[in-house]
Structures are given as C-alpha cells and as structure tokens.
Structure 1
Amino acid sequence: MIRLPVFLLLVARAVAAHAEIIVTDDTGATVRLAAPATRIVSLAPHITEALFAAGAGERIVGTVEYSDYPDAAKAIRRVGGYSKLDLEAVAALKPDLIIGWRSGNAGAHLEKLRSLGMPIYVTQPDRIEDIARSIEHYGRLAGSGAVADAVAQGFRARLAQLRARYGGRSPVRIFYQVWRSPLTTVSDKQIISDAIRLCGGKNVFGDLVGLAPNVSVEAVLASNPEAIVASGMGEERPEWLDDWRRWTQVTAVARGNLFFVPPSIIQRHTPRLLDGTERLCEHLETARKRR
C-alpha cells in the first residue's frame, strides 16, 4: 500500500511531466509547448551553439550553414542559410519547435513557418546578459533546464567578474570593423557594442542607425579612433586590417593599436562571447598602456 505523502509526490511528478511549457520570446510572443521539444530546428549558427550549451544539442534535427560549433553541430542536417532558408526542408523535418533570429532570418520566412502551425521562438539578444536568459529558455523548451540553468548561472558570474575588473577603466575610443568592402561597423544597438562598453570602450560610430551600418574611410579618419579592432569572417587576422597603416595621422595607427578578435567568439550570441569580450578588454588595456 502506497502511503499518502508518497502517492501525492508521484502525482505531482506526473502532473509536472505533462505540464504545458509557456515561454515568452524576445519579440514578446508567447510560445506554448505541450511537452519538451524533441525535434528542434535552429535557424542561426549562434542558436545551434547556444542549444548545445543548454544541454539540448541532441534534440536539434535541422540547422543552417556555418553551424560549426561544437563539432557535433557539423553533422546536423542543413536547411539552407539563415538569410536564405529552405522552407520545404524545414517543414519536412516535422519540427515540434523552431528557434529563429529576428534580425537574421527574413520575417516573411518566419511568418510562413508560423502559418503552418509550427511553434516558433524568436530570439534577439542585444545585450550580453540576454544570452543567459536565452539559454534558460532553451532549457525549459527542451526539458534540459538543470543543465541550462547551471550554464546561465556560470555565465552571469563570469560576466559580473569582467564588469568588476574593467568597468572603471578610462575610456578608449574604438572603431570596430566587421568587414572591408563595404566598410562595415556596428552601432550601439549591436551586442558587440555592449562588449565594448563593458571594457571601457567608446564606439565612435555608436550613434549610427541600424545594427551593422556602412561607413566611409573618410569618416573613420575624421573620428580618429585610439584603437581599431577587426573581426572579419575567419579565425585568422584579416590582412586588410593592416590597410590602415597608411593613415599614420590616426592615433590607433601611430600607437600600433590595430587589434583582432576572432569572429566566432565576439560575433555570436553564445557563452563564448565572454571569451571574445575578455580578449577585447585585454586589447583596450594594451591601448591604455601605450598612451
């Protein structure tokens, strides 16, 4: 005979196991799942990486090009690129959850998938701390909450340490270069600028409109940054970073403050962004020492 307290515990566990999952995404939309997702399609490389961090990697059945971290992500079926989705391929995977990227995926694509009755969670982490919340939500949606919550807690602790270490440093005016042609930077709305602020940097083009505005060489010269930081597309320092050496009147060039941070650790909204932030902070410390 089962004692009443034990019986009530078993009932509570059974109810919890079948409880509806309700999460609000970054657009304010409510996402409802009858049970944890087991067939997830990720529509951006950083989402794939964050899902693995949240303990839900084995539940991903489809993702997009350039989803290359961790190594296990490379074996997941592709459904096009984040900006050019193959909607038929997504639907064929019969996902019980799609996680999209507001500023990366076409809105029309997301609406089409939603019209087919597929649950969609849309993410847009514009601040570093948003990454922790995203991971927690992924854990809830995939039933890996214990893993996700631990990762989020560790992320917040490390973020607090970086802020305590670099938050009071003297400002360094920085030009952050995403690409050479067209010459592309980031505004203060982009998460990279949040990393710049954490390090005590001042984005010389922070007030521009859009997440990744184009600028001219003349505008960079006129802004006279104390440091130029480039990322590019690959893991190696881009050759075009040294193109700035011809402009010897720029403070960043005169002091040798031309720095590189690999894009995989500074341009993706994942726990590794703290690695890139720390690297950026170290570069700005070097710039301060060269004054």
Structure 2
Amino acid sequence: LCTNNVYAQSEIKDFLGRDLKINKHVSRILSLTPATTEILYKLGLEKKIVGVTEDCNYPAQAKKKPSVGKFGFINLEKIVSLKPDIIFATYDMKKQLDILKKYNVPLIALKTDNIDSIINNINMVGKITNSQKQASIIEKDFKNRLNKVKEKSKSSKKHTVFYCIWHDPLITAGSQSFIGDMIKIAGGVNIADEIKSSFAKYSIESLISKNPDYIVVPESTYKKINFNLSPWSKLKAIKNKNYFSVNDDLYLRPAPRIIDAIEDLQKRILK
C-alpha cells in the first residue's frame, strides 16, 4: 500500500493502486481484520466503526459491532450495505480484497512484515482518521517499552527458539514476519530465520536437527500436540520443560498489544 503524503487534501493511493479522495472527517470505518480493529479502538475511534469481522473479539465491545463475515471470508453485500467511507485490512488479504475493486471506497491494506511496520500502521491510520495525537502517544509508549526490551536483550545469552504455529504439517514463522522479528527483539534466535517469507512449512528433520532451546506454541495448537510422543519427546526443549503455550490473539496479531507479547516472550526465554 498505499498512501502518499497528501493527507491534507484527503487524497490517497489505496491498496488497489487507485488515486482516491476521502472525507477529511471519516465517519464510517470498516475493519476487515482483528489487528486493524484493535488499532482503531486503541486510537479511540470505536464510535466511527460501522463493521468488523466475527474474529474481531478485542476489545470486548468490538463483538457488538455488525459483522461482515469471518476473516478471509467477507460478505460483499453486507459491506456495501454498511456504506463505509474507508476500509482497513491487512496486506495478506489480497485475494479477498480484490473483489472490492468495482466499489469506489478507499481500501487501506496495512503491511505486517515486522514490528516497525505495526508502529507505522498505527501512525498511518492515525493520519487518515485525524487521530495523529493519540497515535503519537501510542507510538511513544510502544517505543519506550520496546527499547527497554532491546537493552535487556543486548546483555543476555541468546537462546534458540521454534515458534510452532501449527503442528500437522509443521508451520512456523520465517524472517519476513513480525513473529520472527519479535523473537529476535526479545533476545531469541529463530531457528527458521533462513526462511525468507512470513509463514511456511517446516520439516520435522530440520526441527530435530536444530533442536531449539525453547518451543513456543499458540494455545489452539498446543492442545492438539502430545509432547510425550516422538518427534517432540526427542527435543531438549521438551526434556528441559522449556516449552509453553501462549495466547493466540496476543501473539498472532500485528496489533498494538504485540508489545505485551514481546515483553512476555522475553521473560520466558531469558530466565
């Protein structure tokens, strides 16, 4: 995406490459991902949100907003009926967002490649919605906390980490993901760092060969794994009980709360 520096004229180049004008005072916002919904609420824009997805569960008030379907499976008719001034989503929804081409509604797709991109997203949404002051406050707090984490990482021993997004097949986070960046910032070494993409399959053989110090697993996946069985039982992280479940929403969303996840991860792997 996605925008040029002409917010004063309320003109943007949107996700679909269209030069569009938007109302300086956006009043009807549609969010198509949980992450963008969290950003909008953090900026204090809840009264302007006219629709979200079924997966938008944080903060709790978001669940009361009209739903346009599940993440990745949006209801076009519902979207049109809500008459949004602007639509926010994330870049990984490209295939789903292409169906909105024929509608003259600005579509802002936020990139989520790393932690810096999340900060940039907050500022971008702030500028577009005239919430720059609140965005600056959020950025300052985020960066202050982030710098403290980075300082602690500098003087700590680096442990190898495997982030198991899914177990069958194994799916993990590569170097081009905010999760991979999170591991690095927290003071860990992502064993899948050689994967130059966001998320990808990972072989059992590579996992056994790399034999990470720590294994991080989202709660929804953790429940499905029997760590007493091979190949898991062969790994030193399992033998040393250095494996743990984490909150899916907190760790898997490129949203403002990711700083909470970074701090939590550091406490667990730098103990």
Task: Calculate the TM-score normalised by the size of structure 1.
Answer: 0.82
Aligned to 1:75: 64
The structure with the largest strand share of the pair is 2
CA drift of 1:243 comes to 4.4
Contact map agreement 1:64 1:79 (CA 8 A) in 2: yes
CA drift of 1:28 comes to 8.3
Q: Are 1:134 and 2:121 an aligned pair?
A: yes
Aligned to 2:147: 160
Aligned to 1:238: 223
Aligned to 2:208: 221
Which residue, out of 241, 265, 269, partners 1:256?
241
State the alpha-carbon separation in 1 of the partners of residues 156 and 13 from structure 2. 36
State the alpha-carbon separation in 1 of the partners of residues 189 and 229 from structure 2. 19
Aligned to 1:266: 251
Aligned to 1:125: 112
State the alpha-carbon separation in 2 of the partners of residues 141 and 241 from structure 1. 47
Aligned to 1:8: none
Alignment of 1:168-187 (within 5 A): 168-187=155-174
Q: 1:24 to 1:118 in 2, by over 3 A?
A: closer
Q: Are 1:33 and 2:22 an aligned pair?
A: yes
Provide the identity percentage: 27
Alignment of 1:13-24 (within 5 A): 19-22=8-11
3-state SS of paired residue (2:175): coil
After superposition, the CA RMSD in angstroms is 2.5
State the alpha-carbon separation in 2 of the partners of residues 24 and 162 from structure 1. 35
State the alpha-carbon separation in 2 of the partners of residues 92 and 77 from structure 1. 11
3-state SS of paired residue (1:259): strand
State the alpha-carbon separation in 1 of the partners of residues 17 and 152 from structure 2. 34
Q: Are 1:96 and 2:81 an aligned pair?
A: no
Q: Are 1:64 and 2:53 an aligned pair?
A: yes
Q: 1:24 to 1:156 in 2, by over 3 A?
A: farther
CA drift of 1:82 comes to 2.0
Which ranges in structure 1 are unaligned for 5 or more consecutive residues?
Answer: 1-17, 287-291
State the alpha-carbon separation in 2 of the partners of residues 192 and 244 from structure 1. 27
Contact map agreement 1:177 1:230 (CA 8 A) in 2: yes
Q: How many residues in Structure 1 have an aligned counterpart in Structure 2?
A: 265
Larger radius of gyration, structure 1 or 2?
A: 1
3-state SS of paired residue (1:122): strand
Contact map agreement 1:31 1:120 (CA 8 A) in 2: no
168-177 vs 243-252, which deviates more? 243-252
Contact map agreement 2:90 2:112 (CA 8 A) in 1: no
CA drift of 1:277 comes to 0.9
Contact map agreement 2:215 2:242 (CA 8 A) in 1: yes
136-145 vs 21-30, which deviates more? 21-30
Q: 1:60 to 1:222 in 2, by over 3 A?
A: same
State the alpha-carbon separation in 1 of the partners of residues 13 and 78 from structure 2. 26
State the alpha-carbon separation in 1 of the partners of residues 115 and 178 from structure 2. 6
Aligned to 1:3: none
State the alpha-carbon separation in 1 of the partners of residues 210 and 20 from structure 2. 44
